[in-house]
Structure 1
Amino acid sequence: MRGRPTQHNNKHLIEKAQDIFWKKGYTATSMGDLLEATGTGSGSFYNTFKGGKKEVFRKAILQRREAFHLFQKGLNESEAPLDLIKDFFRNIADAENETHLKGCIIANSVVEMTFVDQDLEMEAITILKEVEQMFSDTIQKAQDSGKIQNRTDAKILGRYLITFWCGLNTLRRMYPDPDILQQQIEMQLAAIS
């Protein structure tokens, strides 16, 4: 006789599921992949995530939103927030090869969900727009205080950084070499100097 499905720690399961989604994408990830990665049975999984695969994927990308909110908090508390943004990009060059190959789950989701699932696509777009706004606000403050010479509208520069972010997450798959990535990163960051 089977026991009652177990209720699991959502955060732990979401992190494990997130890793699989990050590597394979939403469409290519099967329920079997999720059950194996999370170490749960199907009853326990559906007891924890009543919306199944879509619910756990949504929660996985919302966890990335939380990470960006923590970054925003750091920007708000920093005396040099623009340097934090530059370091955010610079640190990408030194990431492990597996991290390079995974790219950004949010940018990946925007691309994958187009024509597949409008709700998940819009969720990912909203997160990227929030990050864009965070960049724009930081740039505006730096322009106002004279720390950036570039007088281009801060909204355009914020969008530029999101474009750079999305492109960099493809480039790092093509050239997972720290030296190549560092050169490209420095060239792009010159726009906000």
Structure 2
Amino acid sequence: MTENKYIIISMDDPKTKHLADVLGNKTSKKIIDYLAEHSEASEKDIVDALRIPASTVEYNIGKLIKSGFVEKKKNFFWSKKGKKIVMYELSNKSILISPNRGTSEKLKSLLPGFILTLTGTFAVWVFDTIKSGNIQNNVAQDYVIQNSQKMILENVPELSNGMSNVIQANAVWGWFLSGGILALLIFAMVNWRKL
């Protein structure tokens, strides 16, 4: 599984607050600068190099991890006392802050409604096809049985005219599809800012 090389954050996202805290904090900036110079470092390395209290470094690294600037490395070391020493590195991700949700995201939120409408339309079409097929077959059979002598004596065009009156295209599915799409469009227009 490949990791994203970018983080997209909306102005409404709660993660934006963490980014602002990190970018406004001098200690966080110092830690970022130190990790930029060194490929990886432990909390102790950062404490020794920057001469900052360990609790401050721990707090700021937590904020940096939460905001996505720093990542824990998978490899770690054991201290002489048997404690696990975690290594940290800068994440190789670009952070993009967008002012609002884009139009594509708003349209994606309407996608389940469109899928549901198309599925319902297909179900109505199948039901209508099965129903009208059974009725047409029954009506046609009754018509042939009742008028068999008459059909033999008269021309076939009368049969075709009678059958064309019986077999009419029933477009209930078209009305269902039109109504569903119209409802989605009205919903989208009314709630466009909220989407």
TM-score of Structure 1 vs Structure 2, range by shorter chain? under 0.3
TM-score relative to the length of structure 1? 0.23
